[in-house]
Structure 1
């Protein structure tokens, strides 16, 4: 494999920004279909239309994309809460954890691979596929700004295996730096990196005072900005009612456009695909039919049906009403990932022996922040995911078997109560 020259961190896309393909999805629109036609191959509004990739995907790359989509719907199912907004970047989480996998071993590595949907892919195939796929998609649509950055930040003096650092530099083009985590400048520099990589949209990714137990941060950042191929006219935007699932209403600015767009529908939803630039990127919006809640629709989707949806659009004359909206979102993904089978990494069972010769390392937190702005001109979106690696200090007490307990007055030494828990009662 030919090693690429890493970007200069002082250039315009500070700290390894790279173009890649991305997708954004939503579920807020009203559709009035007027007909159904042939597969969508229309003009691209003055921008050169992109109809194919510059080369064929390898089998491993195809599996990597499928894995990311499986992970996306698994994460959606776990993170969704009735009545609450949601905006995640599965790719950002996957890449941050993909870097971390290079330091995992044994059952920890197996669980991470399964949770991320990688199936039978080897680590070499995963790393190589990320590297070549991102290279392939670099600058795919010159009308769209898409960038990804990866970085690894270690506590000053903490030993890290050279093989791990070589892997994240090579496959993920990661910026690697060693900082004095006890100094306020450390968090400032890390947060500045995230802000630069997301064009200022994601701030304060790590706390101002880095916890003493943290020895490493692995961070992915993704940025997307694209103009609609067919833009909405701002003069047509009107304040109208938006109907919530609980029967209440809100007044929101509804954009509208009447044109030919890729469309499909079935008994559960209407779907429209809104292209950006030269149509290599799009926003796919699914509107539940009357009587179907958005939460029920989200719970029913999987990667297999998504493939059918992506292949099922037909050019259709329709009028589209879509809210103009801006949303900031933040979520800790620990419970979601554990529900997907990644459990050992978060406790004393974690095996990160390939990351460092220091034992007792585990993931304390996988946190993601995201931001999106959808308006008449197009869409701007950003996300960052941080994986916090901590060092377990002292001994571990895990009271998961029968034990004795005492309540005492410490100064006199008097025991007030004594007990034994052999079998905990249920909640």
Structure 2
């Protein structure tokens, strides 16, 4: 398994906006700029990913009344981006639009992902940022070599054929996710249903220590006011005279807390007083986000932040369909001809994401796994002669066999 250390597009926008700031103290110099300028394609990719992230958050929030929602747009985009490489026609167009890529061509999208990963590999040695992709396919199901090569070249994907009829295959897939998220997400699938022929999975893991750590001795119980008007006690961390970047006005209260040498950060945003979070967040767009980030300025202030831990999971089917990629889920209309010779029979059956987040006095640990499950149409069973087979030529009504043989190497002479 190869691990990459890219910066998430959302964090990158914050980093670029605050590149002139110096974070924290210590023997190592803070990271104040990227090692090279971003290409236009890379900038377009970041904008697309951020736009997709806010759209995803808005749709999930509208459908899920849970107190907490925690998503990884990067993980979802990576898993769906791999899948999109096999899409054709309206299926591709819908997926590209949903992921926010506009009119970008596949080669441009893939090259931008690849170059951005390479650019940011190991950006901050004080932050543990891992990214891994994998494709798990039923050993009886064929894939186009070009699709496999693209997955390897652009996504560093591990491509593995398994016997999906063997219950142990689900354990193998879950074991990869467990390792890829450093044990924070144990399983992404409960088992492999009949008709499922492939999983395209992304795993993301992040662990960063605050540039300025909270003092555990200052952590104490404090009330947290819920949206329903009630309140409960939380363990509130306290950081006095913190050197942060912030913007505080009648539109937004925003603070940026750095990790490590300052390349990565956690951005916290409070809506204006009196506005419910969900109602306000539904109107947050990438354009608004960029405006707020551009207004961040170096500040000294006290910061109070709850210490908490959460796990979240969501099936994203309806959300993604609402955002415009319904064709990919349509058993009769989906076209994944670029993925397999049997691509016309393929469609997405499930997109599932699981996430983990823990915030404490030392820093933050977060993980995500996104699985794209591919199924085949419920038409006639598929017979794939992709291993040695017996062949016979016969007269059907009498049962007379005219020719019979065993084919172990069907290559033409």
Scaled by the length of structure 2, the TM-score of the pair is 0.87
Instruction: Give the secondary-structure state (helix, strand or coil) at the position aligned to 2:95.
Output: helix
1:224 aligns with 2:206: yes
CA distance in 1, matches of 2:302, 2:366: 25
- The residue that corresponds to 1:148 in the other structure is 131
Deviations 1:145-182 (A, max 9, x none): 10100000000121111111111011001000000011
- The residue that corresponds to 1:7 in the other structure is none
Instruction: Give the secondary-structure state (helix, strand or coil) at the position aligned to 1:250.
Output: strand
1:314 aligns with 2:297: yes
Deviations 1:319-359 (A, max 9, x none): 11100000100001111111111110001210011111113
Q: Name the structure where helix makes up a greater proportion of residues.
A: 2
1:41 aligns with 2:24: no
- The residue that corresponds to 2:192 in the other structure is 210
CA distance in 2, matches of 1:377, 1:116: 34
Deviations 1:243-271 (A, max 9, x none): 01111001100001112311112223211
Pair 1:179–1:193, CA change in 2 (3 A): same
Give the superposition deviation at 1:362.
Answer: 0.3
- The residue that corresponds to 2:8 in the other structure is 22
Pair 1:24–1:380, CA change in 2 (3 A): farther
Give the superposition deviation at 1:44.
Answer: 2.4
- The residue that corresponds to 1:378 in the other structure is 363
Contact between 1:22 and 1:224, CA under 8 Å: does it hold in 2?
Answer: no
CA distance in 1, matches of 2:56, 2:164: 31
Contact between 1:268 and 1:297, CA under 8 Å: does it hold in 2?
Answer: no
- The residue that corresponds to 2:50 in the other structure is 69
CA distance in 1, matches of 2:36, 2:298: 26
- The residue that corresponds to 1:410 in the other structure is none
Contact between 1:241 and 1:252, CA under 8 Å: does it hold in 2?
Answer: yes
1:130 aligns with 2:93: no
- Aligned pair count? 369
CA distance in 2, matches of 1:313, 1:319: 16
Most deviating of 293-302 and 244-253: 293-302
CA distance in 1, matches of 2:289, 2:87: 31
Structure of greater relative contact order (alpha carbons < 8 Å, 6+ residues apart): 1
1:287 aligns with 2:273: no
Contact between 2:22 and 2:32, CA under 8 Å: does it hold in 1?
Answer: no
Contact between 2:352 and 2:370, CA under 8 Å: does it hold in 1?
Answer: yes
- The residue that corresponds to 2:237 in the other structure is 255
CA distance in 2, matches of 1:316, 1:53: 23
Pair 1:102–1:155, CA change in 2 (3 A): same
CA distance in 2, matches of 1:168, 1:371: 26
CA distance in 1, matches of 2:249, 2:43: 28
1:334 aligns with 2:301: no
Instruction: Give the secondary-structure state (helix, strand or coil) at the position aligned to 1:342.
Output: helix
Most deviating of 40-49 and 374-383: 40-49
Instruction: Give the secondary-structure state (helix, strand or coil) at the position aligned to 2:185.
Output: coil
Pair 1:344–1:387, CA change in 2 (3 A): same
Instruction: Give the secondary-structure state (helix, strand or coil) at the position aligned to 2:238.
Output: strand
Q: Residues 63-102 of structure 1 correspond to what in structure 2 (within 5 A)?
A: 63-80=44-61, 81-82=64-65, 84-102=67-85
- The residue that corresponds to 2:215 in the other structure is 233
Deviations 1:87-139 (A, max 9, x none): 00001000000000111000000000000000111000011111110011100
Contact between 1:270 and 1:286, CA under 8 Å: does it hold in 2?
Answer: yes
1:50 aligns with 2:31: yes
Instruction: Give the secondary-structure state (helix, strand or coil) at the position aligned to 2:299.
Output: strand
Pair 1:50–1:351, CA change in 2 (3 A): same
Instruction: Give the secondary-structure state (helix, strand or coil) at the position aligned to 2:324.
Output: coil
Most deviating of 310-319 and 239-248: 310-319
1:278 aligns with 2:261: yes
Instruction: Give the secondary-structure state (helix, strand or coil) at the position aligned to 2:304.
Output: strand
Structure 2 unaligned spans of 5+: 12-17, 381-413
Scaled by the length of structure 1, the TM-score of the pair is 0.84
Q: Residues 298-313 of structure 1 correspond to what in structure 2 (within 5 A)?
A: 298-313=281-296
Deviations 1:396-420 (A, max 9, x none): xxxxxxxxxxxxxxxxxxxxxxxxx
- The residue that corresponds to 1:414 in the other structure is none
Give the superposition deviation at 1:41.
Answer: 2.0
CA distance in 2, matches of 1:352, 1:92: 21
Instruction: Give the secondary-structure state (helix, strand or coil) at the position aligned to 2:50.
Output: helix
CA distance in 2, matches of 1:337, 1:172: 22
> CA RMSD, aligned part only?
1.7
